[in-house]
Chain A
Amino acid sequence: MPKVTYRQQDGSEQTIDVPVGWSLMEAAIQNNIAGIIAECGGGCACATCHVYVVDGAKLPPIADMEGDMLECTAAERQPNSRLSCQIKMAADMDGLVVLIPARQT
Protein backbone atom coordinates (compact mmCIF):
# COMPACT_ATOMS: atom_id res chain seq x y z
CA MET A 1 0.00 0.00 0.00
CA PRO A 2 1.22 3.51 -0.72
CA LYS A 3 2.40 5.42 2.32
CA VAL A 4 1.59 8.94 3.40
CA THR A 5 3.30 10.96 6.11
CA TYR A 6 1.28 13.42 8.16
CA ARG A 7 3.46 16.04 9.83
CA GLN A 8 2.26 18.20 12.70
CA GLN A 9 3.25 21.79 13.38
CA ASP A 10 5.66 20.61 16.09
CA GLY A 11 7.48 18.47 13.53
CA SER A 12 6.20 15.12 14.79
CA GLU A 13 5.23 12.70 12.05
CA GLN A 14 3.06 9.65 11.50
CA THR A 15 3.49 7.54 8.40
CA ILE A 16 0.58 5.31 7.48
CA ASP A 17 -0.54 2.96 4.73
CA VAL A 18 -3.40 4.42 2.76
CA PRO A 19 -5.60 2.10 0.70
CA VAL A 20 -5.79 3.14 -2.95
CA GLY A 21 -9.07 5.00 -3.50
CA TRP A 22 -9.32 6.35 0.03
CA SER A 23 -8.93 10.06 0.52
CA LEU A 24 -6.10 11.47 2.60
CA MET A 25 -8.78 12.76 4.96
CA GLU A 26 -10.35 9.33 5.46
CA ALA A 27 -6.98 7.77 6.16
CA ALA A 28 -6.19 10.50 8.68
CA ILE A 29 -9.48 10.05 10.53
CA GLN A 30 -9.27 6.26 10.60
CA ASN A 31 -5.73 6.51 12.00
CA ASN A 32 -6.40 9.11 14.68
CA ILE A 33 -4.23 11.78 13.07
CA ALA A 34 -4.80 14.95 15.06
CA GLY A 35 -5.72 18.22 13.42
CA ILE A 36 -7.92 16.99 10.57
CA ILE A 37 -11.48 17.74 11.61
CA ALA A 38 -13.46 17.02 8.44
CA GLU A 39 -16.82 18.17 9.75
CA CYS A 40 -18.60 17.49 6.48
CA GLY A 41 -17.06 14.05 6.13
CA GLY A 42 -15.51 14.66 2.74
CA GLY A 43 -18.29 16.64 1.13
CA CYS A 44 -16.00 19.50 0.09
CA ALA A 45 -18.33 21.63 2.18
CA CYS A 46 -16.41 22.65 5.30
CA ALA A 47 -12.69 23.26 4.59
CA THR A 48 -11.72 21.74 7.96
CA CYS A 49 -9.51 19.08 6.33
CA HIS A 50 -6.92 21.53 5.01
CA VAL A 51 -3.31 20.33 4.54
CA TYR A 52 -0.14 21.71 3.00
CA VAL A 53 1.51 19.31 0.59
CA VAL A 54 5.19 19.28 1.48
CA ASP A 55 6.34 16.61 -0.86
CA GLY A 56 4.25 15.04 -3.55
CA ALA A 57 4.58 15.18 -7.27
CA LYS A 58 1.67 13.26 -8.71
CA LEU A 59 -1.35 14.89 -7.17
CA PRO A 60 -4.64 15.30 -9.00
CA PRO A 61 -5.31 18.90 -10.04
CA ILE A 62 -7.43 21.22 -7.90
CA ALA A 63 -11.02 21.22 -9.15
CA ASP A 64 -13.10 24.41 -9.09
CA MET A 65 -15.05 23.51 -5.96
CA GLU A 66 -11.92 22.64 -4.03
CA GLY A 67 -10.22 25.81 -5.22
CA ASP A 68 -13.14 27.89 -3.99
CA MET A 69 -13.23 26.19 -0.60
CA LEU A 70 -9.48 26.68 -0.23
CA GLU A 71 -10.16 30.42 -0.25
CA CYS A 72 -11.95 29.89 3.06
CA THR A 73 -9.52 27.88 5.17
CA ALA A 74 -8.93 28.97 8.75
CA ALA A 75 -5.15 28.82 8.37
CA GLU A 76 -3.72 30.83 5.52
CA ARG A 77 -3.96 29.37 2.04
CA GLN A 78 -0.60 28.77 0.47
CA PRO A 79 0.31 27.61 -3.02
CA ASN A 80 0.60 24.06 -1.70
CA SER A 81 -2.73 24.10 0.15
CA ARG A 82 -5.17 21.25 -0.53
CA LEU A 83 -8.28 19.77 0.99
CA SER A 84 -7.30 16.31 2.11
CA CYS A 85 -10.79 14.94 1.40
CA GLN A 86 -10.37 15.76 -2.28
CA ILE A 87 -7.11 13.84 -2.74
CA LYS A 88 -7.82 10.22 -3.53
CA MET A 89 -4.90 7.91 -2.95
CA ALA A 90 -3.27 6.39 -6.03
CA ALA A 91 -0.38 3.92 -6.19
CA ASP A 92 1.98 6.50 -7.65
CA MET A 93 1.42 8.87 -4.75
CA ASP A 94 3.53 6.73 -2.43
CA GLY A 95 5.78 8.82 -0.20
CA LEU A 96 3.50 11.83 -0.03
CA VAL A 97 4.16 14.17 2.90
CA VAL A 98 1.55 16.63 4.13
CA LEU A 99 1.78 19.24 6.87
CA ILE A 100 -1.26 19.84 9.05
CA PRO A 101 -2.06 23.52 9.60
CA ALA A 102 -2.18 25.16 13.02
CA ARG A 103 -5.93 25.52 12.91
CA GLN A 104 -8.96 24.29 10.98
CA THR A 105 -11.70 26.48 12.45
Chain B
Amino acid sequence: MTGKAPIIVIGAGQSGQQICDSLRKGGYEGHLMLLGDEASLPYQRPPLSKKFLTGTLEAERLLLRPASYYEQQKIDVHLNARVDSIDRAACRLRLRSGEALAYSGLALATGTRIRPLTVPGAADANIHYVRSLADGERLAAALKNARRVAVIGGGFIGLEVAAIAREQGREVVLIEAFERLMARAVAPQVSAFYAELHRGHGVEVLLGTGVDAIRTVAGEHTVVTSTGAEYTVDLIVAGIGVVPNSELAEAAGLACRNGIVVDDCARTSDPLIVAAGDCTWHMNGFLQREIRLESVQNAVDQAKSAAASLLGQSSVYCQVPWFWSDQYDIKLQIAGIGMPHDQAVLRGDVSSGAFSVCYFRDGVLVGVDSLNKPAEHMAARKLLAQGTPLSAAQAGDTSVDLMQLARGA
Protein backbone atom coordinates (compact mmCIF):
# COMPACT_ATOMS: atom_id res chain seq x y z
CA MET B 1 0.00 0.00 0.00
CA THR B 2 3.00 2.31 0.26
CA GLY B 3 2.77 5.30 -1.97
CA LYS B 4 -0.99 5.30 -1.97
CA ALA B 5 -2.66 8.38 -0.51
CA PRO B 6 -4.16 7.92 2.95
CA ILE B 7 -7.75 7.55 3.97
CA ILE B 8 -8.46 10.82 5.78
CA VAL B 9 -11.09 11.29 8.46
CA ILE B 10 -12.11 14.89 9.12
CA GLY B 11 -13.39 15.55 12.64
CA ALA B 12 -11.75 13.97 15.68
CA GLY B 13 -14.92 13.36 17.66
CA GLN B 14 -17.01 10.36 18.63
CA SER B 15 -17.78 9.42 15.06
CA GLY B 16 -14.34 10.13 13.61
CA GLN B 17 -12.70 7.96 16.25
CA GLN B 18 -15.12 5.14 15.55
CA ILE B 19 -14.54 5.35 11.80
CA CYS B 20 -10.79 4.93 12.38
CA ASP B 21 -11.37 2.06 14.77
CA SER B 22 -13.72 0.29 12.38
CA LEU B 23 -11.35 0.79 9.43
CA ARG B 24 -8.57 -0.95 11.33
CA LYS B 25 -10.90 -3.68 12.59
CA GLY B 26 -12.15 -4.07 9.03
CA GLY B 27 -8.65 -4.84 7.83
CA TYR B 28 -7.48 -1.52 6.42
CA GLU B 29 -3.73 -1.48 6.89
CA GLY B 30 -2.87 1.57 4.83
CA HIS B 31 -2.07 5.10 5.96
CA LEU B 32 -4.90 6.51 8.08
CA MET B 33 -5.14 10.15 9.13
CA LEU B 34 -7.51 11.71 11.64
CA LEU B 35 -7.74 15.49 11.46
CA GLY B 36 -9.47 17.51 14.16
CA ASP B 37 -9.66 21.22 14.84
CA GLU B 38 -9.89 20.87 18.61
CA ALA B 39 -6.89 20.62 20.92
CA SER B 40 -7.87 17.29 22.47
CA LEU B 41 -7.89 13.72 21.28
CA PRO B 42 -11.48 12.51 20.74
CA TYR B 43 -13.47 12.63 23.96
CA GLN B 44 -16.97 12.01 25.26
CA ARG B 45 -19.26 15.01 25.16
CA PRO B 46 -22.21 13.73 27.25
CA PRO B 47 -20.50 14.26 30.64
CA LEU B 48 -19.84 17.93 29.74
CA SER B 49 -23.37 18.90 30.74
CA LYS B 50 -23.46 16.33 33.51
CA LYS B 51 -20.82 15.15 35.95
CA PHE B 52 -17.93 17.05 34.40
CA LEU B 53 -19.48 20.33 35.58
CA THR B 54 -19.06 19.30 39.21
CA GLY B 55 -15.31 19.53 38.73
CA THR B 56 -14.68 16.00 40.00
CA LEU B 57 -13.89 14.43 36.66
CA GLU B 58 -10.49 15.17 35.13
CA ALA B 59 -10.43 15.82 31.38
CA GLU B 60 -8.21 12.78 30.71
CA ARG B 61 -11.02 10.55 31.94
CA LEU B 62 -13.21 11.76 29.08
CA LEU B 63 -10.88 10.51 26.36
CA LEU B 64 -12.51 7.87 24.18
CA ARG B 65 -9.09 6.24 23.85
CA PRO B 66 -5.70 7.09 25.33
CA ALA B 67 -2.87 8.48 23.20
CA SER B 68 -1.19 5.06 23.12
CA TYR B 69 -4.19 3.62 21.26
CA TYR B 70 -3.57 5.86 18.25
CA GLU B 71 0.09 4.85 18.21
CA GLN B 72 -0.72 1.16 18.44
CA GLN B 73 -3.33 1.42 15.71
CA LYS B 74 -1.06 3.59 13.56
CA ILE B 75 -3.64 6.33 13.35
CA ASP B 76 -1.91 9.51 12.32
CA VAL B 77 -3.76 12.10 14.44
CA HIS B 78 -3.42 15.80 13.77
CA LEU B 79 -5.01 18.07 16.36
CA ASN B 80 -5.61 21.81 15.98
CA ALA B 81 -5.86 21.01 12.29
CA ARG B 82 -8.80 22.58 10.55
CA VAL B 83 -9.74 21.54 7.05
CA ASP B 84 -10.74 24.57 5.01
CA SER B 85 -11.59 23.06 1.65
CA ILE B 86 -11.87 19.87 -0.34
CA ASP B 87 -10.99 19.65 -4.02
CA ARG B 88 -12.85 16.53 -5.10
CA ALA B 89 -11.59 16.57 -8.65
CA ALA B 90 -8.00 16.42 -7.44
CA CYS B 91 -8.76 14.25 -4.35
CA ARG B 92 -7.01 16.78 -2.16
CA LEU B 93 -7.93 18.85 0.83
CA ARG B 94 -6.43 21.99 2.24
CA LEU B 95 -5.78 22.73 5.89
CA ARG B 96 -6.03 26.15 7.47
CA SER B 97 -2.25 26.01 7.86
CA GLY B 98 -2.03 26.02 4.07
CA GLU B 99 -0.88 22.42 3.87
CA ALA B 100 -2.49 20.31 1.13
CA LEU B 101 -3.13 16.59 1.56
CA ALA B 102 -4.11 13.98 -0.99
CA TYR B 103 -6.62 11.30 -0.06
CA SER B 104 -7.65 7.97 -1.44
CA GLY B 105 -10.85 7.95 0.63
CA LEU B 106 -12.44 10.60 2.79
CA ALA B 107 -14.79 10.53 5.79
CA LEU B 108 -16.58 13.62 7.04
CA ALA B 109 -17.37 13.49 10.75
CA THR B 110 -17.56 17.19 11.45
CA GLY B 111 -20.42 17.16 13.97
CA THR B 112 -22.36 20.26 14.86
CA ARG B 113 -21.73 23.62 16.45
CA ILE B 114 -23.89 25.56 18.87
CA ARG B 115 -26.55 27.91 17.68
CA PRO B 116 -25.77 31.23 19.33
CA LEU B 117 -28.35 33.40 21.01
CA THR B 118 -28.78 36.54 18.94
CA VAL B 119 -31.14 38.73 20.98
CA PRO B 120 -30.06 42.33 21.62
CA GLY B 121 -27.29 42.40 24.20
CA ALA B 122 -26.39 38.72 23.79
CA ALA B 123 -22.95 39.48 22.39
CA ASP B 124 -21.93 41.38 25.53
CA ALA B 125 -23.34 38.92 28.05
CA ASN B 126 -20.50 36.38 28.09
CA ILE B 127 -23.03 33.62 27.44
CA HIS B 128 -21.88 30.07 28.07
CA TYR B 129 -22.69 27.22 25.73
CA VAL B 130 -21.74 23.57 26.08
CA ARG B 131 -20.33 21.77 23.09
CA SER B 132 -16.61 21.34 23.58
CA LEU B 133 -14.31 20.35 26.39
CA ALA B 134 -13.09 23.95 26.46
CA ASP B 135 -16.71 25.09 26.93
CA GLY B 136 -17.18 22.58 29.73
CA GLU B 137 -14.03 23.69 31.52
CA ARG B 138 -15.02 27.32 31.26
CA LEU B 139 -18.54 26.64 32.53
CA ALA B 140 -17.40 24.42 35.41
CA ALA B 141 -15.14 27.23 36.60
CA ALA B 142 -17.83 29.90 36.21
CA LEU B 143 -20.43 27.81 38.06
CA LYS B 144 -18.18 27.67 41.11
CA ASN B 145 -18.38 31.40 41.59
CA ALA B 146 -21.91 32.02 40.39
CA ARG B 147 -24.81 32.78 42.70
CA ARG B 148 -27.69 33.16 40.27
CA VAL B 149 -27.81 31.36 36.95
CA ALA B 150 -30.17 31.79 34.02
CA VAL B 151 -30.45 28.79 31.74
CA ILE B 152 -31.96 29.62 28.36
CA GLY B 153 -33.47 26.59 26.64
CA GLY B 154 -35.31 23.66 28.20
CA GLY B 155 -33.85 20.89 26.08
CA PHE B 156 -31.61 18.10 27.37
CA ILE B 157 -28.47 20.16 27.76
CA GLY B 158 -30.13 23.15 29.41
CA LEU B 159 -31.97 20.91 31.85
CA GLU B 160 -28.88 18.91 32.72
CA VAL B 161 -26.95 22.10 33.40
CA ALA B 162 -29.83 23.45 35.49
CA ALA B 163 -29.84 20.27 37.58
CA ILE B 164 -26.11 20.43 38.26
CA ALA B 165 -26.30 24.13 39.11
CA ARG B 166 -29.10 23.46 41.62
CA GLU B 167 -27.19 20.56 43.13
CA GLN B 168 -24.34 22.98 43.66
CA GLY B 169 -26.66 25.34 45.45
CA ARG B 170 -27.00 28.00 42.79
CA GLU B 171 -30.27 29.83 42.26
CA VAL B 172 -31.55 28.85 38.84
CA VAL B 173 -34.14 30.26 36.49
CA LEU B 174 -34.82 28.19 33.39
CA ILE B 175 -36.43 29.92 30.41
CA GLU B 176 -38.05 27.86 27.67
CA ALA B 177 -39.85 29.33 24.67
CA PHE B 178 -42.10 26.32 24.09
CA GLU B 179 -45.02 25.51 26.36
CA ARG B 180 -43.21 22.43 27.61
CA LEU B 181 -39.72 21.01 28.21
CA MET B 182 -37.83 18.78 25.72
CA ALA B 183 -40.78 19.31 23.39
CA ARG B 184 -39.03 17.95 20.31
CA ALA B 185 -38.22 14.64 21.94
CA VAL B 186 -40.77 13.54 24.52
CA ALA B 187 -44.52 13.39 25.16
CA PRO B 188 -46.34 16.04 27.20
CA GLN B 189 -46.61 13.84 30.29
CA VAL B 190 -42.84 13.38 30.35
CA SER B 191 -42.33 17.13 29.89
CA ALA B 192 -44.73 17.77 32.75
CA PHE B 193 -42.91 15.32 35.01
CA TYR B 194 -39.61 17.13 34.36
CA ALA B 195 -41.11 20.58 34.95
CA GLU B 196 -42.30 19.36 38.35
CA LEU B 197 -38.98 17.64 39.05
CA HIS B 198 -37.04 20.84 38.45
CA ARG B 199 -39.51 22.98 40.36
CA GLY B 200 -39.34 20.51 43.22
CA HIS B 201 -35.59 21.07 43.29
CA GLY B 202 -36.10 24.81 43.42
CA VAL B 203 -35.59 25.81 39.80
CA GLU B 204 -37.85 28.60 38.61
CA VAL B 205 -39.15 27.09 35.37
CA LEU B 206 -40.65 29.56 32.89
CA LEU B 207 -42.50 27.94 30.00
CA GLY B 208 -43.81 29.62 26.87
CA THR B 209 -41.38 32.40 27.61
CA GLY B 210 -38.86 33.87 25.22
CA VAL B 211 -35.86 36.05 25.85
CA ASP B 212 -36.20 39.51 24.32
CA ALA B 213 -32.95 41.12 25.40
CA ILE B 214 -30.05 40.99 27.81
CA ARG B 215 -28.50 43.97 29.53
CA THR B 216 -25.05 43.67 31.03
CA VAL B 217 -23.81 46.15 33.61
CA ALA B 218 -20.68 45.60 35.68
CA GLY B 219 -20.64 41.84 35.24
CA GLU B 220 -24.31 41.43 36.07
CA HIS B 221 -26.72 40.37 33.38
CA THR B 222 -30.39 41.21 33.30
CA VAL B 223 -32.42 38.87 31.15
CA VAL B 224 -35.60 40.48 29.85
CA THR B 225 -38.24 37.91 28.99
CA SER B 226 -41.08 38.10 26.48
CA THR B 227 -43.52 38.57 29.37
CA GLY B 228 -41.61 41.68 30.42
CA ALA B 229 -40.16 40.08 33.54
CA GLU B 230 -36.49 40.73 34.36
CA TYR B 231 -34.03 38.35 35.97
CA THR B 232 -30.67 39.59 37.12
CA VAL B 233 -28.05 36.85 37.23
CA ASP B 234 -24.28 36.52 37.21
CA LEU B 235 -24.12 33.63 34.74
CA ILE B 236 -26.08 32.78 31.61
CA VAL B 237 -25.99 29.38 29.95
CA ALA B 238 -27.81 28.82 26.68
CA GLY B 239 -28.72 25.50 25.11
CA ILE B 240 -30.89 26.39 22.15
CA GLY B 241 -29.75 23.83 19.64
CA VAL B 242 -27.00 23.20 17.14
CA VAL B 243 -26.31 23.51 13.44
CA PRO B 244 -24.58 20.81 11.41
CA ASN B 245 -21.06 21.53 10.18
CA SER B 246 -21.83 20.89 6.55
CA GLU B 247 -20.34 23.99 4.88
CA LEU B 248 -17.12 22.17 4.00
CA ALA B 249 -19.10 19.51 2.16
CA GLU B 250 -21.41 22.02 0.57
CA ALA B 251 -18.52 24.10 -0.76
CA ALA B 252 -17.11 20.91 -2.28
CA GLY B 253 -20.37 20.43 -4.16
CA LEU B 254 -21.81 17.61 -2.06
CA ALA B 255 -25.55 17.68 -1.45
CA CYS B 256 -26.52 19.14 1.93
CA ARG B 257 -29.94 19.52 3.51
CA ASN B 258 -29.90 20.18 7.26
CA GLY B 259 -26.67 18.17 7.17
CA ILE B 260 -24.55 16.30 4.66
CA VAL B 261 -26.82 14.05 2.63
CA VAL B 262 -25.85 10.37 2.77
CA ASP B 263 -27.59 7.12 1.91
CA ASP B 264 -28.28 4.23 4.28
CA CYS B 265 -24.65 3.11 3.97
CA ALA B 266 -23.31 6.57 4.94
CA ARG B 267 -22.20 7.30 1.37
CA THR B 268 -22.31 10.75 -0.19
CA SER B 269 -22.81 11.14 -3.92
CA ASP B 270 -19.00 10.99 -4.33
CA PRO B 271 -17.88 7.34 -4.28
CA LEU B 272 -14.71 8.27 -2.38
CA ILE B 273 -16.47 10.21 0.37
CA VAL B 274 -18.60 9.04 3.31
CA ALA B 275 -20.02 10.97 6.25
CA ALA B 276 -21.25 9.99 9.71
CA GLY B 277 -22.52 11.35 13.00
CA ASP B 278 -24.27 14.57 13.97
CA CYS B 279 -23.38 16.21 10.65
CA THR B 280 -25.40 13.88 8.42
CA TRP B 281 -28.86 14.10 6.97
CA HIS B 282 -29.16 10.39 6.38
CA MET B 283 -31.44 7.68 5.20
CA ASN B 284 -31.99 5.74 8.40
CA GLY B 285 -32.43 2.05 7.68
CA PHE B 286 -34.26 1.41 10.90
CA LEU B 287 -36.62 4.37 10.72
CA GLN B 288 -37.00 4.06 6.93
CA ARG B 289 -36.90 7.81 6.54
CA GLU B 290 -34.37 10.61 6.29
CA ILE B 291 -33.36 12.27 9.52
CA ARG B 292 -30.51 13.97 11.35
CA LEU B 293 -29.77 12.54 14.78
CA GLU B 294 -27.58 13.94 17.55
CA SER B 295 -26.53 11.04 19.72
CA VAL B 296 -23.66 8.80 20.65
CA GLN B 297 -25.56 5.83 19.26
CA ASN B 298 -25.87 7.47 15.86
CA ALA B 299 -22.27 8.67 15.86
CA VAL B 300 -20.98 5.17 16.64
CA ASP B 301 -23.28 3.00 14.57
CA GLN B 302 -23.30 5.17 11.48
CA ALA B 303 -19.50 5.37 11.67
CA LYS B 304 -19.36 1.58 11.36
CA SER B 305 -21.34 1.72 8.13
CA ALA B 306 -19.19 4.59 6.87
CA ALA B 307 -16.00 2.60 7.47
CA ALA B 308 -17.47 -0.44 5.72
CA SER B 309 -18.39 1.70 2.71
CA LEU B 310 -14.84 3.05 2.51
CA LEU B 311 -13.64 -0.53 2.42
CA GLY B 312 -15.95 -1.27 -0.48
CA GLN B 313 -18.39 -3.33 1.56
CA SER B 314 -21.96 -2.29 2.07
CA SER B 315 -23.31 -2.37 5.57
CA VAL B 316 -26.71 -0.75 5.92
CA TYR B 317 -27.08 1.53 8.93
CA CYS B 318 -30.15 0.01 10.54
CA GLN B 319 -29.91 0.38 14.32
CA VAL B 320 -32.52 1.35 16.88
CA PRO B 321 -31.79 4.93 17.96
CA TRP B 322 -31.21 5.38 21.67
CA PHE B 323 -30.30 8.24 23.95
CA TRP B 324 -30.11 9.11 27.62
CA SER B 325 -30.20 12.16 29.88
CA ASP B 326 -29.30 12.47 33.57
CA GLN B 327 -31.08 15.06 35.67
CA TYR B 328 -30.81 14.86 39.48
CA ASP B 329 -31.36 11.20 40.35
CA ILE B 330 -33.54 10.50 37.33
CA LYS B 331 -32.11 8.73 34.31
CA LEU B 332 -34.17 9.22 31.17
CA GLN B 333 -33.52 6.62 28.49
CA ILE B 334 -35.08 6.90 25.06
CA ALA B 335 -35.40 3.99 22.64
CA GLY B 336 -36.57 4.52 19.08
CA ILE B 337 -37.99 7.84 17.91
CA GLY B 338 -41.34 8.50 19.54
CA MET B 339 -41.99 11.64 17.51
CA PRO B 340 -44.36 11.91 15.80
CA HIS B 341 -46.85 9.52 17.35
CA ASP B 342 -50.61 9.22 17.55
CA GLN B 343 -50.82 7.43 20.88
CA ALA B 344 -48.69 7.64 24.05
CA VAL B 345 -49.32 4.94 26.64
CA LEU B 346 -48.18 5.37 30.22
CA ARG B 347 -46.62 2.31 31.78
CA GLY B 348 -46.34 2.43 35.56
CA ASP B 349 -46.91 5.15 38.09
CA VAL B 350 -45.65 8.68 37.39
CA SER B 351 -45.65 9.60 41.07
CA SER B 352 -43.15 6.81 41.80
CA GLY B 353 -40.59 8.55 39.58
CA ALA B 354 -39.95 5.27 37.75
CA PHE B 355 -42.10 4.67 34.69
CA SER B 356 -42.10 4.41 30.92
CA VAL B 357 -44.12 5.99 28.15
CA CYS B 358 -44.65 3.90 25.01
CA TYR B 359 -45.30 5.68 21.73
CA PHE B 360 -47.37 4.21 18.90
CA ARG B 361 -47.92 5.29 15.33
CA ASP B 362 -50.71 3.53 13.42
CA GLY B 363 -50.79 0.91 16.16
CA VAL B 364 -47.07 0.13 15.86
CA LEU B 365 -44.59 0.77 18.68
CA VAL B 366 -42.14 3.47 17.54
CA GLY B 367 -40.44 4.59 20.74
CA VAL B 368 -40.24 4.22 24.49
CA ASP B 369 -39.09 6.74 27.10
CA SER B 370 -38.04 5.14 30.35
CA LEU B 371 -37.40 7.04 33.57
CA ASN B 372 -35.35 5.07 36.07
CA LYS B 373 -36.52 1.92 34.33
CA PRO B 374 -33.33 0.73 32.61
CA ALA B 375 -34.56 -2.82 32.13
CA GLU B 376 -37.64 -1.56 30.28
CA HIS B 377 -35.39 0.60 28.13
CA MET B 378 -33.20 -2.33 27.19
CA ALA B 379 -36.28 -4.47 26.53
CA ALA B 380 -37.73 -1.70 24.36
CA ARG B 381 -34.57 -1.58 22.25
CA LYS B 382 -34.83 -5.30 21.71
CA LEU B 383 -38.54 -5.17 20.89
CA LEU B 384 -37.99 -2.37 18.40
CA ALA B 385 -34.99 -4.05 16.80
CA GLN B 386 -36.86 -7.29 16.30
CA GLY B 387 -40.15 -5.65 15.40
CA THR B 388 -41.85 -7.80 18.04
CA PRO B 389 -45.51 -6.80 18.08
CA LEU B 390 -46.66 -5.02 21.22
CA SER B 391 -50.20 -3.77 21.68
CA ALA B 392 -51.07 -0.56 23.47
CA ALA B 393 -52.90 -2.65 26.07
CA GLN B 394 -49.79 -4.75 26.72
CA ALA B 395 -47.66 -1.62 26.89
CA GLY B 396 -49.82 -0.15 29.64
CA ASP B 397 -49.99 -3.38 31.63
CA THR B 398 -47.01 -3.63 34.00
CA SER B 399 -47.73 -7.32 34.58
CA VAL B 400 -46.54 -7.92 31.00
CA ASP B 401 -42.77 -8.37 31.28
CA LEU B 402 -41.28 -6.57 28.28
CA MET B 403 -37.95 -8.37 28.47
CA GLN B 404 -39.65 -11.76 28.50
CA LEU B 405 -41.69 -10.68 25.51
CA ALA B 406 -38.52 -9.52 23.74
CA ARG B 407 -36.77 -12.79 24.46
CA GLY B 408 -39.77 -14.63 23.12
CA ALA B 409 -40.23 -16.40 26.45
Q: Report A's interface with B, CB cutoff 8 A.
A: 22, 26, 29-32, 39-45, 47, 65, 68-69, 71-72
Contact = CB atoms under 8 A, between A and B. Distances in A.
A43 B50 CA distance: 10
Contacts of B300: 39
A39 B300 CA distance: 8
A71 B403 contact: yes
Contacts of B377: 45
B324 A68 contact: no
Nearest to B45: A41
Interface string B47-67: 100100000000011111110
A40 B46 contact: yes
A4 to B, nearest CB: 16
Tell me the dominant secondary structure on chain A's binding face.
loop
A57 to B, nearest CB: 26
A62 B297 CA distance: 26
13 contacts: A29-B65, A30-B60, A32-B69, A32-B72, A39-B300, A41-B47, A41-B62, A41-B296, A45-B331, A45-B374, A68-B374, A72-B378, A72-B403
A34 to B, nearest CB: 11
Contact of A69 (B44, B68, B296, B375): B375
Nearest to B66: A30
A16 B375 CA distance: 32
B65 A72 contact: no
A42 B47 CA distance: 9
Given A30-B63, A39-B297, A69 B378 contact: yes
A23 to B, nearest CB: 9
Contacts of B50: 43
B69 A40 contact: no
Contact of B44 (A22, A41, A44, A47): A41
Interface of B is mostly: helix
A31 B64 CA distance: 11
A72 B46 contact: no
Which among A26, A29, A31, A45 has the greatest number of chain B C-beta atoms within 10 A?
A45
Task: Give the 7 A-B CB pairs with smallest separation, nearest first.
Answer: A72-B378, A45-B324, A68-B375, A41-B44, A68-B374, A69-B374, A30-B66
B61 A30 contact: yes
Contacts of A41: 44, 46-47, 62, 296
B403 A43 contact: no
Contacts of B176: none
B374 A72 contact: yes
Interface residues of B, number: 29
B326 interface: yes
Given A43-B326, A69-B374, 8 more contacts: A29-B64, A39-B296, A44-B374, A65-B372, A65-B374, A68-B374, A72-B379, A72-B403
A32 B68 contact: yes
Q: Which interface residue of A32, A41, A44 has the most chain B CB atoms within 10 A?
A: A41
Given A31-B66, A32-B66, A71 B378 contact: yes
B59 to A, nearest CB: 12
B369 to A, nearest CB: 13
Nearest to A65: B374
A65 to B, nearest CB: 6
Contacts of B297: 39
Contact of B296 (A32, A40, A44): A40
Contact of A43 (B68, B324, B373, B378): B324
